[in-house]
Structure 1
Amino acid sequence: MDSCSCQKVNVDLHMHTTCSDGTDSPGEIVKLAASKNLKVISITDHDTVSGVQKAVEVAKREGIEFIPGIEVTADTSFLPSDAEFHILGYFIDIESSAIKELVEFFSKTREKRNRLLIERLEDAGYDIHYEDVESLFGKNFGKPNIVTLLVEKKIVPTRKEAFSLIKKYRVKREKLDYREIFRLLKEANGIPVVAHPPTLKIPRNYYLSFFTKLKEEGLEGVEIIHSIHTPADVEALKGVVKELSLLSTGGSDYHGYNKPDIALGMLNIKLEDLNFGIFTGV
């Protein structure tokens, strides 16, 4: 394949499996990617890399280039109260001590948060139990899995109402400072990338100064294309990565039926849309 046609291949660099809060297994999601003619993908499960090895095996058989990834949540104490600060790590060495340290920390804090959240729901009279969620979705389940069970058990009629209920009883989760996350990802030979920047809840006209500071502290890329991004978001982020010579990535953030409005590959991202192709073997 020549360099021109390589740039036009379909990619999706943000998706979740049953190893975190998605509903497709690693093998299933790779086969789904193949059926949608995706040529470069990354599974970015929350706080775990347990699905990577299986995905690598299936991707090799399907002729897909697979990039080992992870998504973790950073401390937001310096951001607006409703902000979320998610960081993606790409090309990570999943056997490195740094990734094992990162996974262990976040697995413990996720379990603690989940137990306290479900305990609060139980105390409020809702018929949902930690063991029920864990038996259906595994130990590393997330809030979308709790939402799914709330709806399936008819405790609430819609996912929107279930998310509102969880928000009412939410538990603050212990998180790492973003600089520590950058350090650990780099120690694992990874590339740290800020995921879906609009969830940072900062105005677009502050992006340049914000990402300038993060670049000085180890950031290497920004997710410019995502299912929640508006065209204005994409253009603003393209300008920032160009100005700061950062890498750009993009992905759907597919979770299976836990986020039914998001389909794998739905954004029709081409490798040429991203400043990331030099790191792939395509």
Structure 2
Amino acid sequence: MSDPGAVAAERGHIDLHAHTTASDGTATPAQFVAAAVAAKLSAVAVTDHDTVASVEEVTRLAAAEGIRVVAGVELSVHDDLDREVHLLGLHIENLALMEQTLIGLRDARRIRAVGIVEKLNTLGVPLPFDDVLAQSDGAAIGRPHVARALMQAGHVSSLQEAFDRWLGGGKPAYVEKQRLRFADGIALVHRTGGIAVYAHPGAEATRERIEPLVAIGLDGVEVRHPSHGSEAIKRIKALVAHFGLVPSGGSDWHGAAGGSRVLGCMQVNPEWLDLQLARVAAQAA
């Protein structure tokens, strides 16, 4: 069997942003690895929302295929304008500490979901909380699980309708989500041995936006993402170079049932993985 690190050095494409059933993805760890094999990836990151529960199993299964797994997580954080943005933690070393810390966030997700269901019931939309739990199947619970339960109960005809009528921001059953501050998210990633990467910033990737984040420890920015066009990619690459950050990229894949995009579709340069590993080593020194 090939050494995963050696395989990664053979310059096959990589994908540093993807999800499993541990959060809101539809692929089990086995299906995740099968997709990575089909995409001929040399390395892939598991970046579930607010959990690292799938990382060890994916790593074990991928080792048999000679694929390197980057232990990661996608954190929901609040910026200085109190907006929700996402922060990738990549190359996490202390999975136990990360998971222990995130349990509190998942508890907050459950409390939020209970609040949403209570609002729905008050609004005359009967929905047992157990139906929502059944949709989550043990994963970190979120509004998509409530939407699926509403759809299964016949209250809406689509997931989009659930958000448009009840669950979206400002809608009757919306409940605010408890989040980490951006600085706290960066600190958590560093405390667990990883590097902190601003996920899919899009139009928010400006010098004025990135500079204060660099000051609080940001390590990198996601350059290649399905939501980034060629101009955005060019602009973000320039910012990464200007601030001495590391680039990252990935498909943000959520499984075969999650849309038309496929794992590995962003064809991320494996040299970016080398740059990230050098950053990790420098921080550990």
Q: Same fold (TM over 0.5)?
A: yes
Q: d(CA) in 2 for partners of 1:278 and 1:120?
A: 48
Given candidates 170, 174, 180, the residue that maps to 2:174 is 170
SS in 2 for 1:38: coil
Paired letter, 1:189: G
Paired amino acid for 2:259: P
Cα distance in structure 2, aligned partners of 1:187 and 1:194: 17
CA distance in 2, matches of 1:95, 1:269: 25
Match of 1:91 in 2: 91
**CA 1:152/1:39 → structure 2, altered by over 3 Å: closer, same or farther?**
farther
Quote the residue 1:71 is aligned against: 74
Corresponding residue for 1:161?
161
Q: Relative to 1, partners in 2 of residues 1:95 and 1:256: Cα closer, same or farther, differing over 3 Å?
A: closer
Counterparts of 2:43 and 2:208, CA distance in 1: 31
Q: What amino acid is the match of 1:183?
A: A
C-alpha RMSD of the superposition: 2.5
Match of 1:37 in 2: 40
Aligned 8 A contact 1:47 1:102 in 2: no
Distance 2:268 2:147 in 1: 29
Q: Is the CA contact (8 Å cut-off) linking 1:145 and 1:258 kept in structure 2?
A: no
Q: Which residue of 1 aligns with 2:281?
A: none
1:85 counterpart SS class: strand
Provide the secondary structure at the position in 1 that maps to 2:104: helix
Work out the CA distance in 1 between the residues paired with 2:24 and 2:133. Answer: 11
Structure 1 residue 108: Cα displacement: 1.5
Deviations 1:167-208 (A, max 9, x none): 02221111121111111211111101111113xx64x5xx11
**Larger RCO: 1 or 2 (CA < 8 Å, sep 6+):** 1
| Number of positions where the alignment pairs a residue of Structure 1 with one of Structure 2 | 268
Q: Which residue of structure 2 aligns with residue 210 of structure 1?
A: 209
Identical residues among aligned pairs (%)? 29
Give the alignment of 1:1-282 within 5 angstroms. 6=9, 8-76=11-79, 78-79=80-81, 83-97=83-97, 99-139=98-138, 140-164=140-164, 165-167=166-168, 168=171, 169-198=173-202, 202=204, 204=205, 207-256=206-255, 259-272=258-271, 275-279=272-276
Partners of 2:242 and 2:157 in 1: how far apart? Answer: 46
Contact 2:15–2:251 (CA under 8 A) maintained in structure 1 = yes
Matches of 1:163 and 1:94 in 2, distance apart? Answer: 36
Contact 1:31–1:58, Cα closer than 8 Å, also in 2: no
Unmatched 5+ stretches in structure 1: none
CA shift for structure 1 position 240? 0.6
The answer to whether the 8 A contact 2:11-2:42 is kept is: no
Distance 1:144 1:256 in 2: 15
CA distance in 1, matches of 2:174, 2:231: 31
Deviations 1:114-136 (A, max 9, x none): 22122222322334332112123
How far residue 92 of structure 1 moved from its aligned partner, in angstroms, is 0.8
Cα deviations across residues 197-249 of structure 1 (Å, max 9, x unaligned)?
13xx64x5xx1122111111110011111122222221211111011110111
SS of 1:59's partner is: helix
Q: Please, what TM-score do these two structures have when normalized by structure 2?
A: 0.85
